[in-house]
Every structure is written in C-alpha cells, then in structure tokens.
Structure 1
Amino acid sequence: MESVKLELDFLTSMINGIAAQFGDKCEVVLHDLTQNYDSTIVAIKNGHITGRRIGDCGSNLGLEVLRGTVKDGDRYNYLTQTKEGKILRSSSVYIKNSQGETIGAVCMNLDISDFILAENTIKSITMRNNTSEVEEVFVKDVNELLDFLLQECQNEIGKPVTHMSKEEKLKAIQYLDNKGAFLIKKAGDKVCKFFDISKFTLYNYLDDVRTTQKDMLQSKL
C-alpha cells in the first residue's frame, strides 16, 4: 500500500467491519502517519471509548515508531488505561509502503472495564494472563501528548528541572528524542520553556545525544 489517503474507502470499510464485529465497546482508529502528528486520525469508530475523533492526534507509541526508536511497532493484546480510568485491551498494526516506510496504523481498543469487575468468573474473556502492560496515553490535542512526555522525562530523571545538572538535562533530552517528541510540530518551543534553555542550547544538546547514540551503535557493530 502506497497511501492511506488513496485507500481510505477500503480502510474505512475495514475498521467499520471490525467495530461491528466487536460492538460499541471497541474503538477502531485509522491513522494517516504522513500527516502532521497533531491530526493523524482520518477515520474512527466508537470514539467515545477514548473521547477522540477525526482530526485528533496519535498516541505516544506512534511517535516512537515514526522516530525509529521502535523498529517493529506492531503490538498485540496489551493493556492500557484512559485518563478516565477505563481499562483497554489494545492492538496496534502499522501500515508500510513498498519502501518499508511507516505511513499509517490501525488501532483497536476494547474497553474491558466491565469484564475486570467480574474477572474471577470470566478471566478467559479478559485474557489478562496473556497481556503485557504498556503505557499508552490517548489525547485529543497533541500538546497534551507533549505535556505527558515532558512529565515522563522528568520522572525518568527523578528530580525537578530546576535541580537538574547539564548531564541530567542531556539525558532528559535524549529520552524525549527517543520517544519521538521532536516530531511534534513546534515541540522545540515548549521543550525550551520547560528546561529554561535557548533554542541554540537545545539544538546543541540534540546534536550531542544523537552523536553519542550513533557512536554507541557503531561500536556494537
């Protein structure tokens, strides 16, 4: 497949079929990942599960795939949770073109909250014993996604930005880069404000961490 846009009718029909099969507790989302990341959703069924709609952004997992941090982004049968506390059993399948470039994704999020309440009697339905815990955040606005990643990088370092040394800030920038944060449009402005650094300093930090990572990868070859 070379373009999500050109195959939109077929892909929309497919997600409609998946949603019909599993009912209104299953959200099915089609992302066009050639678009700006703040508006990747081009089709969605049962958006009430995560509160998203057409024109909203993708999740943090998609950023990692686009950044190249995760080589094989397909994930099956993982558990995640919405901001409202719904427990979801999810699968994400990425679409590539003939050059092997990631151009889209189909994601399924089944709300199993009611099943969890009766887990002792219907454990075979929830399949929790066969799932892995993955932290995925569902947001409508890409700025919320960037806020989440900034908070996560601070948690990774284990101290507030005001107490971070240069080395710790470099580590935090590397974390953000690996998570694909800089694929978000105008992310640099928010990152600079968060770390109280200039754009010149940010670009230097990025050059440093990317060069270091490249050297480390080459040394392992």
Structure 2
Amino acid sequence: MAGEQALEAERDAILAALAPLVDGIAATFGPVCEAVLHDYRRPERSVVAVAGSVTGRTVGGAMSEIGMRVLARGDEAADELNYVTRTREGTLLKSSTMVLRDSMGSVFGALCLNVDVTAVDRVHRLLGAFAGLDGDPAEPPTTTFGNDIDSVVDALVDAHRHKSWAELDRAERLALFRGLDARGVFAVRRAIEQVAARLGISRASAYSYLAQARAATDTTSHGGHA
C-alpha cells in the first residue's frame, strides 16, 4: 500500500514538473501548435494542462481515441511520433504522442503535440499542381478530439459500424467489438453501457459479445491451441 502511494505521488510530481513545459512549447511554435498533458489514470478528464487551441481541448477534458489506443496497450505502449491525422472539422494535423512512465515502467500519461499543417498541405498541393506532379497523397485518418468522452466513444462506434446492428452477422458483430476493444474503448468507465445504447442492444448482450471477442482473440494469439 505504501509503495503504491509512493508511486502515485511520483506520478503526480512528474505531471506537475511537465505542466510548465506545455505553455513553453506552444509559445515557441506559435498559434499553429497545441501541447496537451494527459493523466491516463482518469480517462474521462485526462487533460491536466493544455496550451494552444488547435483541437479545442480544455483542462478537465477527455482523452481522444489516440489516447484510448495507448491506454489499451498498457505498459507495452510506445511513443507515436510525427503521424498525420485529420480532425472531424477538416484540420490536418501532424502529431506526436509521448508516453509518460513512472520509475516502475508503468505508463500513466502522455505529452501530446498537435501542429496544424492545413496551410502547409494546401501550399504543397498548389506547388505540386504547378510543377505538374500528378497524384494525391493518401487521405489521413479522421480522429475525434473532444472534451466529452461520450462523443469520442460514439465516434469510434460509428467508425467501426458500416451497417445497422440488425444487418450484422455474428462474425461482423464480434469483429465490431474486437475493433472497439483494440482501440481502448472499454478501458473507459461506463463505455460498455454507452456502446450498448449506441447499438440498441442490452448491456448483457454487449458484455457477452465483448467476452466472446476477447476469447477469440486469445485463441488466435496462441496459435489456435487451448
């Protein structure tokens, strides 16, 4: 018990030490940059410090689906650097997510940087057209950033569902729950109830499909052997 309390105090101290850096990073790179400090011990209000307004995050806001993915990987999570994504409003971002670990190596948070490169992308496309270069780059994935964890979960459910629940066969239903689980949705408190409501099924059915999806994943990861 004392050891866990010491680790909690250590995590708090790390977050407190990093908080001033958030303002410094955003001030250095200007209005196109946003720095966000997350405490993954509380996913529904993980933002403990933020500077810049690229995604509209505020202190006390929820983690994004990128944070959920990191949370799902647990202590196996690694830094994700210089990936490109797009907000649901169309803003093109170049982002980095750097995980925070305590002295035991446990992941408990992240420092995230989001840079609005929309204008740069437009200039790049214009110069490419002027130079006669054909072909558009691959469209980056859309990511939901929100201060409300419910909106993030809803967006993930909708992104993984291409038919109504009644139109999905059993394999597709299991694949839906497997995909949501892999993205860290069920690490969020009350997410199972929200997913069930979004799909129009009972909470018991949602728990059953999640258990079956996880059992199938475990079997596959062990090469099909019990």
TM-score between the two structures when normalised by the length of structure 2? 0.82
Q: Does 1:43 align with 2:42?
A: no
Residues 194 and 178 of structure 1: is their aligned pair in 2 closer, same or farther, counting only changes over 3 Å? same
| Equivalent residue pairs, number | 211
Does the 8 Å contact 2:36/2:111 carry over to 1?
Answer: yes
Q: Which residue of 2 aligns with 1:103?
A: 108
Match of 2:79 among 55, 68, 74: 74
CA–CA distance in 2 between the matches of 1:3 and 1:135? 35
Runs of 4+ in structure 1 off by over 6 angstroms are none
Q: Which residue of 2 aligns with 1:214?
A: 218
Instruction: List alignment gaps of at least 5 residues for structure 1.
Output: 124-130
CA–CA distance in 1 between the matches of 2:83 and 2:49? 22
Q: Which residue of 2 aligns with 1:127?
A: none
CA–CA distance in 2 between the matches of 1:111 and 1:195? 34
Does the 8 Å contact 2:11/2:102 carry over to 1?
Answer: no
For residue 81 of structure 1, give the secondary structure of its aligned residue in structure 2. Answer: strand
Q: Which residue of 2 aligns with 1:126?
A: none
TM-score between the two structures when normalised by the length of structure 1? 0.84
Q: Show CA shifts across 1:30-55 (max 9, x none).
A: 001112x1100000001x21111000
Q: Does 1:117 align with 2:122?
A: yes
CA–CA distance in 1 between the matches of 2:9 and 2:100? 9
Does the 8 Å contact 2:57/2:147 carry over to 1?
Answer: yes
For residue 61 of structure 1, give the secondary structure of its aligned residue in structure 2. Answer: helix
Does the 8 Å contact 1:77/1:132 carry over to 2?
Answer: no
CA–CA distance in 2 between the matches of 1:215 and 1:2? 39
Q: Show CA shifts across 1:49-104 (max 9, x none).
A: 11110000111111112112894341111111223222111111111123322111
For residue 68 of structure 1, give the secondary structure of its aligned residue in structure 2. Answer: helix
Residues 25 and 103 of structure 1: is their aligned pair in 2 closer, same or farther, counting only changes over 3 Å? same
Instruction: Name whichever of 131-140 and 4-13 sits farther off.
Output: 131-140
Does the 8 Å contact 2:92/2:116 carry over to 1?
Answer: yes
Give the letter for the 2:119 counterpart: D
Q: Which residue of 1 aligns with 2:28?
A: 21
Give the letter for the 1:109 counterpart: N
CA–CA distance in 2 between the matches of 1:204 and 1:64? 22
Instruction: Name whichever of 92-101 and 1-10 sits farther off.
Output: 1-10
Aligned-residue CA RMSD (Å): 2.8
Q: Which residue of 1 aligns with 2:133?
A: none
Q: Does 1:58 align with 2:63?
A: yes
Give the letter for the 2:96 counterpart: S
Q: Which residue of 2 aligns with 1:173?
A: 177
Q: Show CA shifts across 1:109-156 (max 9, x none).
A: 111222223226889xxxxxxx9945432112111101111101203x
Give the letter for the 1:178 counterpart: A
Q: Which residue of 1 aligns with 2:202?
A: 198
Does the 8 Å contact 1:27/1:109 carry over to 2?
Answer: yes
Give % identity. 29
Q: Which residue of 1 aligns with 2:159?
A: 152
Instruction: List alignment gaps of at least 5 residues for structure 2.
Output: 1-7, 129-137
